[in-house]
């Protein structure tokens, strides 16, 4: 008897989720290159690539030329597949005991890839990222190698986030902020530095915006509550409980976006501020519809429905800053 259309569709969806590095995947992949890609979690590259776009917008120096297009594309390669891929592979390496409890189908706990192969992947991605960053410094004629420094700083932050003895992710607040700033501030700085001059005002603003990223990072902790609790990791859902942590998550996301809108009003970018505030409204709607009602069941559905409004808001903020001549 042939498989039903539903079972075939479910199997295809499971394989897609597995390849992208999403929760709810299925074991059984044998291609080493697909396994390596799964470790890099391509689904996580999107916000970093978008952060580069926001940085280019805020710099105000991007032009629609072939050269600038390929510069931006190279910076996206650096921030997404290389540095985010390095971060995710490193995190899976140090989380293999937790994943054996929460997600035993992941490549390392399932035995689909060996530890030496994982270590090699980590090193190749890191050094490729640093090399590309240096190449961008040369390409942009930087007097100071800012792109290389950002790659080195991001690589170090990823290491202390995942690895002992610091292992920042053991602390719910500090770990989630480190993750949030890596997804918002770091790629934003990279895009801005490539097409303009990085300044302290932008650094502070994006670090403030990263508090919204802290809320996003908390969403990822709900799927790991069981393993985190058993291994003593103090994620916010473990420390405060599911319901309270869900409220902390959504309040952080909304309040700090509104704070950025307030700053835009203060520099007379009222239209952009209004658009940013309007984008928060559907976000709050989906937070109430999905996440606050059942964060364990609806985390992926919530991310798919609400987070597009967050990332659009980031671009609106970037355009406003670029328009203001920052």
CB 236 within 8 A of CB 220: no
CA distance 142 to 197: 10
| Omega before 165 within 30 of 0, i.e. cis | yes
- In eight-state DSSP terms, residue 234 is B
Q: What is the pLDDT of residue 219?
A: 83
The candidate with the shortest Cα–Cα distance to 185, out of 156, 211, 220, 149, is 211
How do residues 248-272 score in pLDDT, each as one tens digit? 999 999 999 999 999 999 999 999 9
Q: Specify whether the CB–CB gap between 93 and 67 falls below 8 A.
A: no
Give the whole-angstrom CA distance, residue 278 versus residue 272.
10
Q: How far apart are CA 272 and CA 226, in angstroms?
A: 42
Q: Distance between CA atoms of 111 and 222, rounded to whole angstroms?
A: 25
The dihedrals phi and psi of 135, each to the nearest 5 degrees, come to: -60, -35
3-state secondary structure (DSSP) of residue 171: strand
Nearest to 246 by CA among 205, 195, 293: 293
| Residue spans per domain, the chain | 29-323
At 3 the pLDDT is 58
CATH of the structural domain 29-323, one choice from 1.10.3470, 1.10.600, 2.60.120, 1.20.120: 1.10.600
As to burial, measured by CB atoms within 10 angstroms (0-12 exposed, 13-18 middle, 19+ buried), residue 111 is exposed
**Predicted TM-score (pTM) of this structure:** 0.88
Tell me the backbone φ, ψ of residue 104, rounded to 5 degrees.
Answer: -65, -15
- Asked if 118 and 93 count as a contact pair (C-beta separation under 8 A), the reply is yes
Peptide bond into 145 cis (omega under 30): no
Q: Is 237 in contact with 220 (CB distance < 8 Å)?
A: no
pLDDT digits (tens, 9 = 90+) for 63-81: 999 999 999 999 999 999 9
Instruction: Report the 10 Å Cβ neighbour count for 246.
Output: 26
Helix, strand, coil shares of the chain, percent, nearest 5, are 80, 0, 20
Of 299, 273, 58, the C-alpha closest to 187 is 58
- Whether the Cβ atoms of residue 211 and residue 178 lie closer than 8 Å to each other: no
* pLDDT of 1: 46
- Residue-wise DSSP of 54-71: HHHHHHS---SSHHHHHH
Could you state, in chain order, the average pLDDT of each consecutive group of 10 residues for the chain (326 residues)?
54 56 58 91 90 96 96 98 96 90 86 96 98 98 97 97 90 88 95 96 96 86 78 83 92 95 97 97 94 88 88 95 86
Which candidate, 189, 161, 288, 296, places its Cα nearest to that of 237? 296
End-to-end CA distance of the chain: 65
The pLDDT score that the predictor gives to residue 225 is 80
Strands (E), 91-165: none
Torsion of CA 125, 165, 43, 52, to 10 degrees: -70
Q: How far is residue 225 from each of residues 11, 108, 116, measured CA to CA in Å?
A: 26, 20, 29
Give the model's pLDDT for residue 12: 57
């Amino acid at each position: 008897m042939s498989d039903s259309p539903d079972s075939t569709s479910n199997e295809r969806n499971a394989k897609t989720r597995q390849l992208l590095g999403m929760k709810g995947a299925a074991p059984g992949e044998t291609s080493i290159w697909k396994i390596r890609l799964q470790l890099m979690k391509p689904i996580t590259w999107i916000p970093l690539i978008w952060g580069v776009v926001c940085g280019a917008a805020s710099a105000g120096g991007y032009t629609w030329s072939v050269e600038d297009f390929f510069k931006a594309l190279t910076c996206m390669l650096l921030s997404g597949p290389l540095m985010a891929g390095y971060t995710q592979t490193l995190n899976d390496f140090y989380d293999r005991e937790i994943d054996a409890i929460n997600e035993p189908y992941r490549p390392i706990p399932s035995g689909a890839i060996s530890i030496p192969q994982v270590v090699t992947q980590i090193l190749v991605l890191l050094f490729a990222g640093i090399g590309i960053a240096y190449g961008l410094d040369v390409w942009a004629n930087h007097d100071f190698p800012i792109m290389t420094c950002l790659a080195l700083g991001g690589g170090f932050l990823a290491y202390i986030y995942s690895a002992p003895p610091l292992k920042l992710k053991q602390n719910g607040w500090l770990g989630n902020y480190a993750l949030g700033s890596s997804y918002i501030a770091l790629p934003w700085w990279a895009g801005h530095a490539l097409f303009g001059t990085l300044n302290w005002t932008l650094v502070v603003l994006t670090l403030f915006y990263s508090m919204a990223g802290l809320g996003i990072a908390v969403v990822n902790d709900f799927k790991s509550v069981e393993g985190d609790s058993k291994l003593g990791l103090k994620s916010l859902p473990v420390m405060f409980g599911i319901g309270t942590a869900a409220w902390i998550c959504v309040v952080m996301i909304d309040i700090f976006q509104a704070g950025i809108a307030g700053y835009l009003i203060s520099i007379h970018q009222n239209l952009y501020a209004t658009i940013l505030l309007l984008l928060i409204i559907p976000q709050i709607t989906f937070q109430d519809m999905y996440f606050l009602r059942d964060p364990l069941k609806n985390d992926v559905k919530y991310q798919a429905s609400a987070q597009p409004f967050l990332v659009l808001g980031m671009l609106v903020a970037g355009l406003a800053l670029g328009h203001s001549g920052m």
